[in-house]
Amino acid sequence: MLQNPKCYEITVEDPSFEFESMRDAYDIRLILRNGHFGIFRERLDDFSRDKITEENYRDFVLSKSEIEEIRRRFKLTKSRVLLPWSWCNL
């Protein structure tokens, strides 16, 4: 189970929109604060001028190795990693 005795795992059968939004925001924060999604961390300050184009699209693709590293490190499913990534691409 979880290593920290103050940490509990819960299952939510039918989460509300608000709960899902909170979880998405938390996952984005967790991933960014721990050094992942590097392309966005590098370009956040200047992002309004650095739009995604056909020419630079591949720079914004998350690699399989980074997906797996995030999954293992934070015990997230692939979809829980890709959802925050898609939010960062909006």
Global pTM value = 0.63
The structural domain count of the chain equals 1
Note the pLDDT tens digit of each residue in 30-75: 888 888 877 666 665 555 545 667 676 666 677 888 889 988 888 8
Note the pLDDT tens digit of each residue in 71-87: 888 888 888 888 777 76
Q: Is residue 73 part of a domain?
A: yes
**Rg of the chain in Å (alpha carbons):** 15
* Residue range(s) defining the domain that contains residue 84: 57-90
Task: Give the model's pLDDT for residue 40.
Answer: 65
Pair 82, 23: CB distance under 8 Å: no
Q: What is the DSSP string of 19-47?
A: HHHHHHHHHHHHHHHTT-SHHHHHHSTTG
> Rounded to 5 degrees, what are φ and ψ at 82?
-75, -30
Q: Is residue 62 part of a domain?
A: yes
Task: Give the model's pLDDT for residue 1.
Answer: 44
Q: Is residue 36 part of a domain?
A: no
